[in-house]
Amino acid sequence: MSEPVVLGIESTCDETAAAVVRGRRLLSNVVASSMDEHARYGGVIPEIASRAHAEAFVPVVSKALADADMTIGDVDAIAVSAGPGLAGCLAVGVSGAKALAWAANKPIYGINHVIGHIAVTQLQFGPFPPDTLALIVSGGHTSLLHVEDVARHIDVVGTTLDDAAGECFDKVARLLGFPYPGGPHIDRHAQAGDPHAIAVPQGLTQGKAGREHPYDFSFSGVKTAVARWIEERQDRGMDIPVDDVCASLADSVATVLARKAMRGCEQYGSRTLIVGGGFSANSQLRAKLLEVGAEHGVEVRVPELRLCTDNGAMVAMLGVNLVEAGVAPSSPDFPIDSAMP
């Protein structure tokens, strides 16, 4: 099989998505989101998201196949996110994918969503050079990973000890009155603000005692400091300089992410840094990473926006990697794992 064709299915959170990848070529990419239904609750409601997946699954998968000019018989394998994510949401996508694989007699791979965020960059930048590092930042995870072999072995270099970066932005955004998800609103306002207007602490600049490496992240203190600053001013009836708050927060988070990523690249001798996850859409982070990457001689691979957020292409691309590496498909009873490491 020279260029495997894989159908990827994604349902970890509020996006029902499917895509077809042949080798390193994206043939189709369909995403349906239930985001609008969650906005008024200030966060994703698992029950609503699961129901939306059940409704969208067949139309989204059908469209992904049709856009690729294929039927299910034309694909070599099906890949589906088995975790981490919301259990009810995962159950819908995995059950649908298993039914499809069973009916069409195709091999199925239950994959790790976070590794999908790494794999997807190959569609834009090609294969990984040796000793590639990946910074995956989203609403639920902030991880620095060493990509030894994307199909078989990924090392965790550092991870978040409390809030993920996206979570921190979303919580501050709520205090500022922005609808969920607040990250993009902070991004927009930050572009008009002064990043040095407010002293925001930089989360966990040193490694925590007892951990071997200084690459872990902590954004809970950052969030609390900004929240306290806002609330104190609100209590005194003072105006909140929204643009400056957003710019200062964004600068602090981007600076610490970029610094630790570069320190990791030095430690591992990496000349390539892959960036992924919903938060990698953040313009302050993208700019900061490109800047420090140029200083350190590290090629920073930040994918185009539609590949940063959750999609089926990331799942299909990782599926292709697994097929190419000769990894055995998952057994028909493979479980979902909402806390997959």
Query: Is 112 known to sit in a ligand binding site?
Result: no
Minimum Å gap between C-beta 61 and Zn ion is: 19
* Cβ-based nearer residue to ligand KG4, 14 or 216: 14
Q: Strand (E) positions, 84-188?
A: 108-112, 132-137, 142-149, 153-159
Which one of 121, 138, 255, 270 is in contact with Zn ion (CB under 5 A)?
138
Min dist. Cβ of residue 173 to ligand KG4 (A): 7
Find which of Zn ion, ligand KG4, none residue 8 binds, CB within 5 to 8 Å per kind.
Answer: none
Query: In 10 A of CB 232, how many CB atoms?
Result: 10
Strands 153-159 and 142-149: antiparallel
Strand arrangement of the beta sheet that strand 77-83 belongs to = 25-33, 15-22, 5-10, 77-83, 108-112
Residues ≥6 apart with Cβ < 8 Å to 88: 46, 47, 49, 50
Task: Point out which span in 27-35, 39-47, 132-140, 207-215 binds Zn ion (CB under 5 A).
Answer: 132-140
Q: What is the DSSP letter of 279?
A: G
Task: Say whether 111 counts as a known binding-site residue.
Answer: no
Cβ at position 170, least distance to ligand KG4 in Å? 5
Contact between 310 and Zn ion by CB under 5 A: the answer reads: yes
Binding site for ligand KG4 (CB under 6 A): 13, 138-140, 166, 169-170, 181-184, 186-187, 277-279, 281-282, 309-310
- Is there a contact between 139 and 167 (Cβ–Cβ < 8 Å)? yes
Task: Verify cis geometry, omega within 30 degrees of 0, for the bond prior to 303.
Answer: no
Q: Is 136 annotated as a binding residue?
A: yes
What does 281 interact with, of Zn ion, ligand KG4, none (CB < 5 to 8 A by kind)? ligand KG4
Q: Decide if residue 272 touches Zn ion (CB under 5 A).
A: no
CB of 275 to ligand KG4, least distance (A): 12
- Whether residue 43 is annotated as binding a ligand: the answer is no
Long-range CB pairs of 285-292, under 8 A, 24+ apart, other chains included: 285/137, 285/250, 285/253, 285/254, 285/257, 285/258, 287/254, 288/254, 288/255, 288/257, 288/258, 289/135, 289/254, 289/257, 289/258, 289/261, 291/258, 292/258, 292/259, 292/261, 292/262
Nearer to ligand KG4, 68 or 309 (CB): 309
CB of 164 to ligand KG4, least distance (A): 7
Using the contact rule CB under 5 A, the part of the chain among 136-144, 185-193, 218-226, 299-307 near Zn ion is 136-144
Task: Tell whether 282 is in a known binding site.
Answer: yes
C-alpha to C-alpha distance for 98 and 147, rounded to whole angstroms: 28
Stretch that binds Zn ion, among 159-167, 178-186, 254-262, 306-314 (CB under 5 A): 306-314
Does 183 carry a binding-site annotation? yes
Residue located via tokens 């699961």: 50
Token code pair at residue 9? 């299915």
The answer on whether 139 is annotated among ligand-binding residues is yes
Tell the residue number behind the tokens 């602090």, with chain if given: 252
Rounded to 5 degrees, what are φ and ψ at 52?
Answer: -65, -40
Output the smallest distance, CB 126 to Zn ion, in A.
22
Number of residues that bind Zn ion (CB under 5 A): 2
Report the residue number, 35 or 70, with the smaller CB distance to ligand KG4.
Answer: 35
In the complex, minimum distance from the CB of residue 310 to ligand KG4, in angstroms, rounded to a whole number: 5
Q: Report the distance separating Cα 222 and Cα 282, nearest Å.
A: 17
- For ligand KG4, the closer of residues 140 and 329 by Cβ is 140
Between 138 and 248, name the residue whose CB sits nearer to Zn ion. 138
Query: Residues at the annotated binding site for Fe cation?
Result: 113, 117, 310
User: What is the binding site for Zn ion (CB under 5 A)?
Assistant: 138, 310
